A = this chain, B = another copy of it.
């Protein structure tokens, strides 16, 4: 509950989102967070992995809540997903393509090299997936179809973020928004 610990986690989230895990140094976290320098290993005795794990958990649940909240703003699931992805496009652009997909880089870096962080990322993505799934179920999709579509939606969004960040343009994400909207519109008319 201490503010210093929380500051460390928060800035670790931001730095790892834009740079990845390996490029983010502990010194950088301490400096940028303004947290007391000597307290890093007091709050996180297990070092960098423990900090990253906390950052992943934090970014994961925060993002999951944001997905749920955004999807709740529109009844129509097609329009809700499309609007959500459009908002991401804007966010990625506004950040100078430094932000968006808070866990993607860490997830890729650690998928096969760090089981602890891999499991943390996995848990977070499952939360994202569940958020889409529940929206679809609430919109009348069968549980089975909702689960399948949630995976596909999440895939398209994550991939769109990659392309938008490397192209330095929100267009790929806007394309994903349009296609997912059309797909869900057609699927819900059955």
Residues of A within 8 A of B (CB): 18-20, 22-23, 96-98, 101, 104-105, 107-109, 111-113, 118, 121-122, 125, 148-149, 151-152, 154-160, 162-163, 165-168, 171-172, 175-176, 178-179, 183, 186
A172–B113 alpha-carbon span in the complex (Å): 20
**Chain B: which residue is nearest A20 at the CB level?**
B109
Q: Mind listing 14 A-B residue pairs with CB under 8 Å?
A: A19-B113, A20-B109, A22-B22, A98-B111, A98-B112, A104-B162, A109-B109, A118-B166, A121-B166, A125-B163, A151-B163, A151-B171, A158-B163, A159-B160
Tell me which of B105, B121, B159, B171 contacts A157 (CB under 8 A): B159
Residue among A96, A104, A158 having the largest count of chain B Cβ atoms under 10 Å? A158
Given contacts A111-B165, A125-B167, A166-B118, contact A148 B175 (CB under 8 A): yes
Residue among A97, A98, A112, A178 having the largest count of chain B Cβ atoms under 10 Å? A112
Tell me which of B104, B156, B167, B171 contacts A156 (CB under 8 A): B156
Assess whether B183 is in contact with A155, with CB atoms less than 8 Å apart: no
A96–B22 alpha-carbon span in the complex (Å): 21
- A149 to nearest B CB, angstroms? 8
**Chain B: which residue is nearest A96 at the CB level?**
B112
Given contacts A23-B113, A105-B105, A113-B18, contact A152 B166 (CB under 8 A): no
**Chain B: which residue is nearest A122 at the CB level?**
B166
